[in-house]
Amino acid sequence: MLHAGYARSHEHNQLHIVGPADPEGLPALADEVMAFLPHRRITVHDEALGLLCVPALERAGYSHMTEVLMVHTGPVPEATAADVVERELGPDPHGPLRRAVTAQQRRWMPDADERTVHDLVERRTARRAGAEEVLFLAAHDDSGEVASWADLYLEPAAGIAQIEEVATAEPYLRRGHADAVLTAALRRAAAAGCGLRFLVADQDDWPLRWYGRRGFTAIGRAHAFSRF
């Protein structure tokens, strides 16, 4: 997958390995395919193959992260009282969703240049092609500022929904905004007839346990490798 329009987005510029591969040959393959990019990113979707790739890719300077595939097996939660609506980036450079995501991106990556921040915010435009229906959900504070957000990808014909990038702006942490957004995503997915509802979480980060307490169960793992 390559998207030159968002060159700093690893999400849109990476190799996806979904079949047999030679671990020793992957660094050279990535260099060939991603030569115009400042980074390298390889995701191996087979759990066993991914583990076999760790030594070769670490020798080539890659860092390794395990991503956990989690399926929602709990009941669909009751609606919250929080105001969660569908938001677009829209044409306004100072719109509420863009403003919130940009500010938080700078908190996460204080040393990032403007091009990197731009690509990581604006790549949501490219995500529109990720499913039959794509919704950007946002919860707000009392003044209308976006406090938390998430992407929801719906394929009603297949009965599948994916929830991605549940995030909360740092000034609003631990106030229930992320719970409201996740609940809204699960309820919209169920209403669309999507019985299979899933997400991906970092195995070594705290959201894995947070999702587990909200009815998500780990069913598989992929391995992601990055080099800068």
4 within a domain of the structure (yes/no): no
How confident is the model at residue 2, as a pLDDT?
A: 82
Q: What pLDDT does 5 receive?
A: 80
Looking at the domain assignment, is residue 225 inside a domain?
no
Number of domains in the chain: 1
Residue 91: per-residue pLDDT: 63
Q: Is residue 51 assigned to a domain?
A: yes
152 located within any domain: no
52 domain residue, yes or no: yes
44 domain residue, yes or no: yes
Range of the domain at 37: 10-67
In 3D, which of 145, 160, 30 has the Cα closest to residue 97?
A: 145
> Does residue 171 form part of some domain?
no
Q: Phi then psi for 9, rounded to 5 degrees?
A: -85, 110
pLDDT in tens, 67-76: 999 999 999 9
Q: Does any domain span residue 60?
A: yes
Model confidence at 90, in pLDDT bands (50, 70, 90)?
Answer: low
Phi/psi for 76 (5° steps) reads -70, 125
Band the pLDDT of 13: cuts 50, 70, 90: very high
Taking all residues of the chain, what is their mean pLDDT, rounded to a whole number?
94
Q: Tell me: the pLDDT tens digits for 121-159?
A: 988 888 888 899 999 999 999 888 999 999 999 999 999
Residue 30 confidence (pLDDT) above 70: yes
pLDDT at 89: 73
